[in-house]
Structure 1
Amino acid sequence: MAGYVLKQILQFISNITINAGVYERCTDYHKQAIAQKSSRLPLILYEDSETMNIKTRAMDCVNREVLSQIYMSSAVFATSAISIISLVSVLASYNLLFILLSLLTVMPYFIARRLRGKDFYALKQRQTKRVRYRDYLWELFNDKTAVKEMRTMGFDQYLREEFKETRVEIDKELWEFSKKDALSLLFCDTIRVIGYTASVVLALVLTISGEINIGLFGASIGAFLAVQNETKKFLMDLGSLPEKISFAKDYYAFLDLPEERKGSVQKESLTESIRLEQLEFTYPNAGAKTITGVNLEILKGEKIAIIGENGSGKTTLSKLILGLYPVQQGRITYDGEALEGLNQETFFQMVSIISQDFMRYSLTLRENVSISDLERADADRDILGVLAMVDLDMDPAQLDRMLGREFDGLELSGGQWQKLSIARGLFRNSELIVMDEPTSALDPLIENQILMNFLTVAQGKTAVIVSHRTGLCRYVDRIVVMKAGEIVEVGSHSELIQREGEYTRLYTTQEQWYV
């Protein structure tokens, strides 16, 4: 007997280990699928809150191992059905009333699971936006830049309260649901106990009437209890299945989102020009257009400055030129080839972007620069050259030193990190370089020097410099002035100054910065 019990315990532990391993592997696989899909989504979808809601629900589905549970449930259903049929056949040999009684008293479990599952899915859908907000607030407390600003400006307590209120609100709704769910199960358990009591009474009546003997009295009750328990488990799993399928739909809805265009036209170099024709663009859930009726031609080797006040649409225009955002209306062509038809992989090999939203990689100095062109990671002279170009002179012995305090590396100032991001973009050997406010946080005079150095080394390359500052405009080939999503002026520095329009206003306002 002891050996049998030990064997059952070991088998139970083994089943738990195997199932845990299956769940873990399935969860890892589905997390990788979400990560892979996220990397392939068009960037414009990251501006859409509903897309982020779908992604959050997809991650919730994976984290709660819903897909693994569906897989395991489908495997268990067959064995449970066989077990129930076998038990029912035994119970039928005593009296058919036992079968009817057992099924009727466990049917409420199916109804309760079905209704509560539907309510729970609806609740999780309603909570998605607030869950994202709660998680966003939590991320702020783990961001050293945000924490520094919170403490120095004294609003950390406010955000803590905001986080607490949001979390409590979410948890309260889940608690209210849990109470309703528990009451439903209590009602079902009561019906089941009444059914069991009725089965005892029925067995007693059958024994007294002589239909079954005293030996079958206990056997019939045991068989009834076995049918009741097995059917209860089966019906609860079956009732929960629609809820799990609803959560699984969110996962597959995310995987079914449209991916970034691929294109088939191989374009590895620019030979003539980039043309923008009647471009129109509106962000998701935004009422007003960000880009309106833009027409522009950028010639090969030309240096263009796109300037305008914040909100004028210049950054959005640069993303359209690079194909990071899809063209909604109008057309962008590279040497006559539509941008959306170009092969993305080869197209991105010919372009480089230097953004104001730069990253701080806790990697070595060498990796921070050469990560944009890893085939030249050993080109020390080129790496040091671009560092000098952005006024970031570093000792060659420090090239393989880690940066950032996360791994006990060398910490740089904010301005140095920004210069490093510019060096990373300049290191990439590309034909088209788009600089989107890369020096906005630097001193205007330092900015001017860096951009002048850039123009020197960018000979023969096509460059688009996006900025709200005008210091460099005297040295570029053409200036494109934007206002409220439209191009209002195009020309050289001298031409636009003579017109005394929007450019003149911007230039004279900033002129003292460069004196």
Structure 2
Amino acid sequence: MKHLFFLNKYFYKYKWRIIPGLIFVIISIIFQILQAPVVGHAFNLITENISIYQLFDGFDRQEVIYNIFSTNLFFFGALILVIYMIRGLFLFFMRQTIILMSRHIEYDLKNEIYAHYQKLSLGFFRRNNTGDLMNRATEDVNRVRMYVGPAIMYTTNTTILFFTAIFFMFSVNVKLAFYALLPLPILVVIVYYVNTLINQKSEKIQEQLSRLSSFVQERFSGIRVIKSYVREAQTQEVFEEESNSYKTNSMSLVKVQALFYPAMLLLVGISTILTIYIGGEQVIAGTITAGNIAEFIIYINLLTFPVTMLGWVTTLIQRAAASQKRINEFLKLQPDITSNNVEKPEIEGNISFKNVSFTYPDTGIEAIKNVSFEIKKGQFVAIIGRTGSGKSTLANLIMRMYDTDSGKIEIDGKELRNINLNNYRSKIGFVPQEVFLFSDTIKNNIAFGLSEISEGQVETAAKNAAVYNNIVDFDQKFETMLGERGITLSGGQKQRVSIARALIKEPKILIFDDCLSAVDTKTEEEILGNLGTIMKGKTSILIAHRISTIKNADQIIVLDNGEIIEKGTHNELLNKGGAYTEMFNNQLLEEENA
């Protein structure tokens, strides 16, 4: 239960729903219990009236007694009906307060989880797969909702009903109550043992469900690759194995529950038999009336609900505790990247790396080693190097997706760690190497970084990214809906839409992370020509493999194995005859051979 203590803040928040809800529970139970003594009195009255009616057989008074009997029967029938109606009314109020409160808590908890996810750094998302993140925010939250709503409601209901019914039973006849409740200790032992099994099996089911969700999400995201390599049958086999594992665990839990509930009903049936047998003997002895037996049978039937609910409610609580434990694991994580500065100064675009080193915490790979360079406002700087040389890592460090291990990064003379992060990132246009587009319209994808857009702003950004003509060829033009991850578009079109998304922000710093690889040379020249106009006086950083893309840069930084091995302009680096010259000559040979 300690994991569920996290929810206490929500109970306090919605206390004016919980308190009336619990009052409605108590009132509904009072009217539920009332039916037993009413039926008992009615049963005695009917028995006595029948006896009196038979005594007056052949007398005129018999009709009067029959009328009294009919009136009493109608009265008690109407009274029981009224009791049920009032109880039903308060049951409705109970559900309207407690169950609705659980929906509010579900809403708040999902929002808290989603907001917390967004605060966590990229490293968190590298360590955890999407399916597991989704499962904790949906399936686990739903199980917690079953605790804060139905479980609490039925726990309160069954507990009060249980002890109230027992009190009334002992007040009627101690001996009969003792025999009626004799099977209960056996039931307690069964409940304790079975719920331990249920808890263990529930955790296994939840873990397997996360694996299954992750598998399905990943395979559907990569469906193009699966089809290309004709691996549908193989992925189907793996899915069947994972699904079969989930089924096996679920069936194991169902078997335990299938034995549990009949066992409980058997014990309740034994209580009824003991009540009738012991009660019958006492009626014969004149200790109690036949109406008391009828009253006791109702009490036992009333106890059937708490007894059967006991296992179900315990299961809900156990599952909720297991799910809340999983939720708490992530909510307790603190973001690696924090920003406490509330000031929002204008970003000019001066960038300075001073002896910066960085190692990825998940893999232990040292990506950047003692790197130092400066980029002045308005410069066009290119970063080039072999695969794995640390180019994308530099882009991530500039955007402060990660913090440096040593050294420091300064923006306009201020250390990056001390700058308001949201304000800083809002001034950056970033086009990642791996393009990601949302399942939305092309217009909304381009305008993603802005809260408000002016007329023609999206179209201008599309023209600057050389994708306008492609978009207007679609039937719905800018209102064309994209499939998941932009699957509707070609690779080059996706890259250019991503570029338009960065350009529409009119950023102070623009970072291109090798995002021109899927466009042809002519389109690349058009985009770079537009950039020259758009980014005049603003800082541009272009990560590339093709030297033809970067030869006009104000400064070219050559990386190798996380270190800067050369710096300078295109002509300066060629004159050095070093690594840059070697890459340039190799690319010339490739173009000639092509």
Which category describes the TM-score, using the shorter chain as reference length?
0.7 to 0.9
Q: Which of 236, 251, 255 is matched with 2:331 structurally?
A: 255
Q: Distance in 1 between matches of 2:513 and 2:349?
A: 23
CA contact (8 A) 2:391 2:543 kept: yes
Confirm or deny that 1:282 pairs with 2:360. Answer: yes
Q: Distance in 2 between matches of 1:363 and 1:373?
A: 15
Deviation sequence 1:29-83 (CA, Å, 0-9, x none): 443333333333323311112797465334221234x224334433443443332
CA separation in 1, counterparts of 2:263 and 2:471? Answer: 75
CA apart distance, 1:92? 1.5
SS at match of 1:333: strand
Identity of paired residues, percent? 22
Q: 2:189 aligns with which of 94, 105, 108?
A: 108
Q: Does 1:35 align with 2:35?
A: no
Taking structure 1 as reference, are residues 115 and 209 closer, same or farther at Cα in structure 2, changes over 3 Å only?
Answer: farther
Contact (CA 8 Å) 1:403, 1:412: kept in 2 or not?
Answer: no
- Alignment TM-score, normalising by the size of structure 1: 0.82
1:392 alignment counterpart: 467
Instruction: Write the mapping of 1:206-245 to structure 2, written as runs, cut at 5 A.
Output: 212=288, 214-227=290-303, 229-234=305-310, 237-238=313-314, 240-245=316-321
Per-residue deviation at 1:435?
0.7
Shift of 1:335: 3.0
Which residues of 2 match residues 404-443 of structure 1 at below 5 A?
404=481, 413-443=490-520
Superposition map of 1:294-373 within 5 A: 294-360=371-437, 367-373=444-450
Please report the RMSD computed on the Cα atoms of aligned residues, expressed in angstroms. 3.9
- The residue number in structure 1 matching 2:3 is none
In structure 2, the CA distance between the partners of 1:208 and 1:287, relative to structure 1 (3 Å rule), is: farther
Output the amino acid matched with 1:323: R
Cα distance, 1:347 vs structure 2? 0.9
Q: 1:59 aligns with which of 115, 138, 143?
A: 138
**1:214–1:418 CA distance, 2 compared to 1 (3 A):** closer
How far apart are 1:350 and its partner, in Å? 2.0
- 1:61 alignment partner AA: D
Q: What secondary structure, in the 3-state scheme, does the structure 1 residue paired with 2:389 have?
A: coil
The answer as to whether partners of 2:350 and 2:377 remain within 8 angstroms in 1 is yes
Change (3 A) 1:43 1:221: same
1: CA distance between counterparts of 2:168 and 2:210?
53
Distance 2:406 2:422 in 1: 24
8 Å CA contact retained: 1:308, 1:482 = yes
Q: Aligned equivalents of 1:186 and 1:291: distance in 2?
A: 65
Q: Do the aligned partners of residues 240 and 459 (structure 1) sit closer, same or farther apart at CA in structure 2, a change above 3 Å counting?
A: closer
Residue in 2 that maps onto 1:143:
none
1:165 counterpart = 2:233:
no
Pair 1:270-2:351 in alignment:
no
Read off the aligned partner of 2:392 and give its amino acid letter: T
Match of 1:69 among 136, 147, 158: 147
CA distance in 1: counterparts of 2:510 and 2:102, whole angstroms = 46
Q: Describe the superposition over 1:421-441 as per-residue Cα deviations: whole angstroms up to 9, x where unpaired.
A: 212312322211111111121
Task: From the superposition, tell whether residues 219 and 471 of structure 1 become closer, same or farther in structure 2 (CA, over 3 Å).
Answer: same
TM norm structure 2: 0.72
Larger radius of gyration: 2
Q: Output the CA distance in 1 between the equivalents of 2:133 and 2:493.
A: 38
**Structure 2 Cα separation of the partners of residues 121 and 110 of structure 1:** 16
Please tell me whether the aligned partners of residues 113 and 240 of structure 1 are also in contact (alpha carbons under 8 angstroms). Answer: no
Alpha-carbon distance, 1:374 to partner:
5.1
Query: Using the alignment, how far apart are the partners of 1:334 and 1:9 within structure 2?
Result: 69
| SS of 2:138 mapped into structure 1 | helix
Q: Which residue of 1 aligns with 2:579?
A: 502
Aligned partner of 1:103: which letter? L
Q: Is the 8 A contact 1:356 1:440 kept in 2?
A: no
Relative distance call for 1:396 and 1:496 in structure 2 (3 A) is closer
Q: Which residue of 2 aligns with 1:180?
A: 256
Cross-structure match for 2:164: 86
3-state SS of the aligned residue for 1:471? helix
Larger RCO of the pair (alpha carbons < 8 Å, separation 6+): 1
Deviation at 1:214, TM superposition (A): 5.0
- 1:9, CA displacement in angstroms? 11
Are residues 80 and 373 of structure 1, via their aligned partners in 2, closer, same or farther at CA, if it must alter by over 3 Å? closer
Instruction: Give me the whole-angstrom Cα distance separating, in 2, the residues matched to 1:420 and 1:244.
Output: 44
Change (3 A) 1:77 1:498: same
Question: 1:392 is matched by which residue type in structure 2?
Answer: V
CA contact (8 A) 2:358 2:406 kept: yes
- Which blocks of at least 5 consecutive residues in structure 2 are unaligned? 1-76
Determine if the alignment matches structure 1 residue 95 to structure 2 residue 95.
Answer: no
AA matched with 1:49: N
SS of the aligned residue for 1:263 comes to coil
Secondary structure, aligned partner of 1:294: strand
Query: Is residue 49 from structure 1 mapped to residue 128 from structure 2 by the alignment?
Result: yes
C-alpha distance 79-455 of structure 1, shift in aligned 2 (>3 A):
same
Q: Is the 8 A contact 2:180 2:272 kept in 1?
A: no
**Greater Cα offset, 36-45 or 205-214:** 205-214
Distance 1:296 1:418, change over 3 A: same
Partner SS, residue 327 of structure 2: helix
Contact 1:127–1:170 under 8 Å retained in 2? yes
Q: Distance in 2 between matches of 1:233 and 1:281?
A: 54
Compared with structure 1, are the counterparts of its residues 208 and 384 closer, same or farther at alpha carbon in structure 2 (3 Å cutoff)? Answer: closer
* Residue 232 (structure 2) aligns with: 156
CA contact (8 A) 2:180 2:274 kept: no
Task: Answer yes or no: is the 8 Å Cα contact 1:106–1:192 preserved in 2.
Answer: no
Partner of 2:8 in structure 1? none
Mapped to 2, the partners of 1:36 and 1:81 lie a distance apart of 37
Distance 1:481 1:177, change over 3 A: farther
Counterpart amino acid of residue 417 in structure 1: K
| Structure 1 residue 134 displacement after superposition | 2.9
Contact 2:514-2:543 at 8 Å conserved across structures: yes
Relative to structure 1, the CA distance from residue 209 to residue 341 in structure 2 (aligned partners, 3 Å threshold; closer, same or farther) is farther
State the AA in 2 paired with 1:37. Answer: H
- Residue 207 of structure 1 and its aligned partner are, at CA, apart by 5.3
Report if the CA contact (8 A) 1:116-1:181 is conserved: no
Give the drift of 1:318: 0.5
How many angstroms apart in 1 are the aligned matches of 2:472 and 2:314?
A: 66
Further displaced range: 121-130 or 48-57:
48-57
**Higher helix residue share:** 2
Q: Distance in 1 between matches of 2:105 and 2:349?
A: 49
- Further displaced range: 357-366 or 123-132: 357-366
CA deviations on 1:235-263 (whole Å, 9 max, x unpaired) are: 65256424422322333443343345233
* Equivalent in the alignment of 2:44: none
